[in-house]
Chain A
Amino acid sequence: MTSPAYKLWRPIAICWLILLGGCAYERHTQAVTRIATPVDMTGHWEIDFARSDNLQAQLSSMARRVQREADRRARLAEEGRGYAGSPLPNQSDLVTLARLAEIITEPLLLEVIQNDARIRVKRDKSFALVCEYDGSGLSITVDTLGIQRCGWDGDQLFFVLELEEGLDVTHRLSLSVKTEMLLMVTSVETSATRFPLVVNQYFTPYSLEALGYRCERTLTRGKVCSTRQ
């Protein structure tokens, strides 16, 4: 037997559940896609060696991780259980990764130039990371040697570079407003072994005026540098 009040409340409850479900779904979707919320990273940045990773230490840490993974797989094999995963890097692979990471993370100075449509992360001794965005999310550019994907993942700017011969480089930049710190996380991996070497580099702002000169380019005078402040 069902009371009239129950009859009335049942559809309301169903609607409420549907609404809750909708909200939960929405929250889940947001958590997965991370809507772009660009932050202003404009400025000149220099590396903070004290906070940044030491490549040698990273290599040792990675070697320990590989060793632990090798032990785990060996245990699983002994127990007669299979395991899934890419082949583990050998010593030579690790050294290759470390040497590549050393080249890729060589820049110590960054200059970020940013507007609504484009961000350029100029790096000394290397090429700039450039991302043009139109609000549609991922931006893909194709070069003769590979593909670059970039965009804003929430408030983090990412660049995924897939080069020939299976060399993958990922840069992820995030800004800490409180401490005025820019973190660039660089991940390097190769197709030979899908075991990335990750390097964290912290950058602090510096003033260009501190250099004592600044340069500008004009059509009529070319590149002109002066000591004026």
Chain B
Amino acid sequence: MMAIPRKKWWFMRLNFLLLALTTLLSQMASAALTSDDQIRVSQQSVRLIVAPPMRLDVGISVKTKVLNNSGTHMEAAFRETEALLIGQRLRGEFESNDNWGVVRLFPEPSVIPQLSVQLSILESDGRELVIEAITRAVTGETILSAKYHDISVEEDYTNEKRDPFADLYATVVNDIADSLSPLSYQESYLRRLSSLRYASELVPESFPDYLAQDADLFTIRREPSRDDPMLIRLHRLQDYELLFVDTIDEQLANVSREVSGAYYLWMRASKEQLDWLDLRRERGVSAETLRNGSTFTRLQAVYAAHRSLKVHEQELFELVLELENEARATAVYVNEQVFKLAGTLEQQYQDWRAILRQINNLESTL
């Protein structure tokens, strides 16, 4: 250990403070967003720094709008699964902050959580990720609508544990937390509104005058008694719906575990190929340069690059197809019955809601 004179120590401390302040400022600067045609470009090393002002439940629904380049069913199936992986990844980012309520991935936008995040995947090739996030409160108010763009760098793929687009997810969650600050509603009010909106969606005749709607905005006009049997029944149905969502979620977690390794390798291979292509074009390879001593090297490199990406892509696509069929059947146990659902997640969700309506009709006539 080195001894430091007291005078020098103070000087060093001052230097250290300056250094810390600079680092903090640069960190804040890197967490800031630059706006480019309404697309927010994520900077490097963004950390979750914003805590939400309320402990709200969050429902994430996600769909893919990524162009199916190959036009094959395999790629389409993969893109669907990829969307779910990205949705799960965003959920993980929410969950790393204890100040949020329950965060779930819903097959389609729901009014059960007080905050609904609709994600659209616009571009994803391992090198770039572009998504659109629209966040709405259960009041119907759009509190955030933005596109996010993140570009991975080589270092993002050197540590296999790291998500190459971690910055983007952190930026989205920070932005959502930030956008909640101007909301003037109480958390309890949003929860009650959520409950009434769910009731009126599932059984429109249940509480017809309790909600007021002005355009797309909802407010509570009056509230049913806590002991209202219909409200109690609808709360139970809401629990059943969440049971379904959680069951699906378990499946998706398994799919995610199975696929994430292959997905990571595909992203890395895809980025490598795109970078290599750019580099080659920058060097200006033309047909005239082909007839030289390095022709074999060039052609072999083209074939090797194509083979490498295809191998990773096919391993991933095949895995997705294998899991797709297995994940497409769900069994839910409620009311001492087992309900089996099949089809796409959206179909199953709609079928399940139809079952819930039937349960409500049966029980309301008793």
Q: Does chain B have a CB within 8 A of A140?
A: yes
- A229 part of interface (Cβ distance < 8 Å): no
Collect the chain B residues with CB atoms within 8 Å of residue A85's CB: none
Chain A 130-145 residues near chain B, CB threshold 8 A: 130, 132, 140-145
CA distance A204 to B262 in the complex (A): 32
Q: Does A180 contact B (CB under 8 A)?
A: no
Give the shortest distance, in Å, between B117 (CB) and chain A (any CB).
26
**Complex interface: chain A residues within 8 A of B277 (CB):** 144-145, 164
Q: Is B55 an interface residue (CB 8 A)?
A: no
CB <8 Å contact, A143 and B69? yes
Choose, from B153-161, B224-232, B288-296, B336-344, the stretch at the interface. Answer: B288-296
Does B258 touch A at the CB level, under 8 Å? Answer: yes
B185 at the A interface (CB under 8 A): no
Q: How far is the CA of A155 from the CA of B59 in the complex (A)?
A: 51
Q: Which of B291, B299, B309, B314 contacts A130 (CB 8 A)?
A: B314
B255 touching A96, Cβ below 8 Å: no
> Do B74 and A132 touch across chains, with their CB atoms under 8 A apart?
yes
Q: What range describes how many residues of B lie at the interface?
A: 35 or more
CA distance A164 to B278 in the complex (A): 13
Interchain CB contact under 8 A, A219 and B293: no
- Between A and B, 20 residue pairs with Cβ closer than 8 Å are A96-B295, A100-B296, A118-B74, A127-B307, A127-B310, A127-B314, A141-B71, A144-B274, A144-B277, A145-B306, A164-B302, A165-B285, A165-B298, A166-B290, A190-B290, A191-B290, A217-B319, A217-B323, A219-B258, A220-B254
Nearest residue (CB) in A for B68 is: A141
The residues in A between 103 and 149 inclusive whose CB is less than 8 angstroms from any CB of B are 103-104, 117-118, 126-128, 130, 132, 140-146
Q: Does residue B144 face the partner (Cβ distance < 8 Å to A)?
A: no
- Per the 8 Å Cβ criterion, residues 70-119 of A in contact with B are 92-93, 95-96, 99-100, 103-104, 117-118
User: What residues of A have a CB within 8 angstroms of the CB of B326 in the complex?
Assistant: 218-219
Structural contact, B73 and A118, CB atoms closer than 8 A: yes
Kindly provide the distance from the CB of B121 to the nearest chain A CB, expressed in whole angstroms.
18
**Cα–Cα, bound, A197→B3 (Å):** 76
Q: Is the CB of B73 within 8 A of A140?
A: no
* Residues in B neighbouring A132, C-beta threshold 8 A: 72-74
Give 1 or 0 for each of A204-216: 1 = CB within 8 Å of chain B CB: 0000000000000
> Is A167 interfacial (CB-CB < 8 Å)?
yes
Residues of B within 8 A of A (CB): 69-74, 251, 254-255, 258, 273-274, 277, 285, 287, 290-291, 293, 295-296, 298-300, 302-307, 309-311, 313-314, 319, 322-323, 326-327
Q: Is the interface of B mostly helix, strand, loop or mixed?
A: helix
B306 engages A163 (CB within 8 Å): yes
| Cross-chain contact A95 with B296 (CB below 8 angstroms) | yes
**B286 nearest CB across to chain A (Å):** 10
Interchain CB contact (< 8 A) of B295 among A144, A146, A192: A192
Task: For A104, list chain B residues within 8 Å (CB).
Answer: 303
Does A167 lie within 8 Å of B302, measured CB to CB?
yes
Residue A222 lies at the interface, judged by CB distance under 8 Å to chain B: yes
**Is B70 touching A143 in the complex (CB atoms < 8 A)?**
yes
**Contact A143:B319 (CB < 8 A) given known A118-B73, A190-B290:** no
CA distance A103 to B285 in the complex (A): 23
A142 to B287, CA, bound (A): 21
Contact indicator A222/B258 (Cβ below 8 Å): yes
Whole-angstrom distance from the CB of B294 to the nearest CB of chain A?
10
In the complex, given contacts A127-B311, A140-B71, A144-B277, what are 18 additional A-B residue pairs having Cβ atoms less than 8 angstroms apart? A93-B291, A100-B299, A100-B300, A104-B303, A126-B311, A128-B314, A132-B73, A132-B74, A145-B277, A145-B305, A145-B306, A161-B306, A164-B277, A165-B299, A165-B302, A166-B287, A192-B295, A219-B258
Residues of A within 8 A of B306 (CB): 127, 143, 145-146, 161, 163
